[in-house]
Amino acid sequence: MAAGAELTPTSYMTHHLTYLTTSLGEGAFWTLHIDTLVMSVLLGIISFGFLWWVVRGATSGVPGKRQAFVELSIEFIDEQVKSTFHGDRHAFVAPAALTVFVWVLLMNTMDLLPIDIMAGFYGLLGIHNWRSVPTTDINTTFALALSVWLLMIFFNVKVKGLGGWIHELVCTPFGKNPLLWPVNILFNLVEYVSKPLSHSLRLYGNIYAGEIIFLLIGMWAATGLAGTIFGTMLGAGWAIFHILIVTLQAFIFMMLTVVYLSMAHESH
């Protein structure tokens, strides 16, 4: 809890929703959310380090339980990619999908950490503002979505050539007639703007809303013992339901990535 300040619902919420920031230069843009970056990189190193560790000792003979688990995850991703993407998926798209799924899943899962206990833990380390869930930071989701968007454009140009891509922007989806060109361009513009927006905001909205609801439930503890017990039950229920949301959102984010990338590979 913020030291010395009077504890109101607003200050409680604000406290939990404030980033640990550092400034790298002049202006608001050069702010860096240390908590977001550290948590996400830490989770990435743990998860991909684990995968790497398992894969390094992987045998083509009888797999151990650990290897079987990793293989199960990879085959799951591979199945999903195979049904959507028709091409050499092993070169890039499938491993990228694995990266997205594992990373986003773990970042979302941080939402299940009990916020007030974690705040106490960070307080012991001398940190007052620390947000554990990187995907509740719009910067993270936009970073992922824009990276995918850039990859999308990259593959568009790579597969169809620059001319082919521009031709597609101008002549689809309505037709080649020059009268339809403006409509086509407008349509594609809307599509190219809406893709990263919906891609990132969907994830951000779901996980951020989940965190807000945890905070609201946490406030029941302020109403006495009965309220605390009620809040605990509500919190447990929401956490169990949230397991579904966490996984589902990671899966949706991965599937959209795969769909966008495979659309970039295919001509209309």
The catalytic site residues sit at: 198, 202, 206
Q: Is the bond preceding residue 173 a cis peptide, omega within 30 degrees? A: yes
Residue 99 sits in the site that holds another protein (CB under 8 A): yes
Neighbour-count burial of 61, counting CB atoms closer than 10 A to its CB (0-12 exposed, 13-18 middle, 19+ buried): exposed
User: How does DSSP classify residue 5?
Assistant: S
Residue 56 sits in the site that holds another protein (CB under 8 A): yes
Q: Among 16, 33, 242, 265, which residue interacts with another protein (rule: CB under 8 A)?
A: 33
* Selected range binding another protein among 61-69, 111-119, 184-192, 219-227, rule: CB under 8 A: 61-69
**SS3 sequence of 42-111:** HHHHHHHHHHHHHHHCCCCCCCCHHHHHHHHHHHHHHHHHHHHCCCCCCCCHHHHHHHHHHHHHHHHHHH
Tell me whether residue 10 or residue 59 sits nearer to another protein (CB atom). Answer: 59
33: β partners: 21
Residue 70 sits in the site that holds another protein (CB under 8 A): yes
Residue 44 sits in the site that holds another protein (CB under 8 A): yes
Residue 168 sits in the site that holds another protein (CB under 8 A): no
Number of residues that bind another protein (CB under 8 A): 47
CA-to-CA distance for 229 and 4, rounded, in angstroms? Answer: 27
* Selected range binding another protein among 9-17, 110-118, 138-146, 215-223, rule: CB under 8 A: 138-146
Q: How far is the CB of 220 from another protein (least distance, A)?
A: 28
Residue 30 sits in the site that holds another protein (CB under 8 A): yes
Residue 71 sits in the site that holds another protein (CB under 8 A): yes
CA-to-CA distance for 192 and 25, rounded, in angstroms? Answer: 31
Residue 60 sits in the site that holds another protein (CB under 8 A): yes
Q: How far is the CB of 44 from another protein (least distance, A)?
A: 5
Residue 259 sits in the site that holds another protein (CB under 8 A): no
Contacts of 13 (CB under 8 A, 6+ apart): 212, 215
Neighbour-count burial of 26, counting CB atoms closer than 10 A to its CB (0-12 exposed, 13-18 middle, 19+ buried): exposed
| Chain positions contacting another protein, by CB under 8 A | 24, 28-33, 36-37, 40-41, 44, 48, 51-52, 54-56, 58-61, 63, 67, 70-71, 74-75, 90-92, 94-96, 98-99, 103, 134, 137-140, 142-144, 146-147
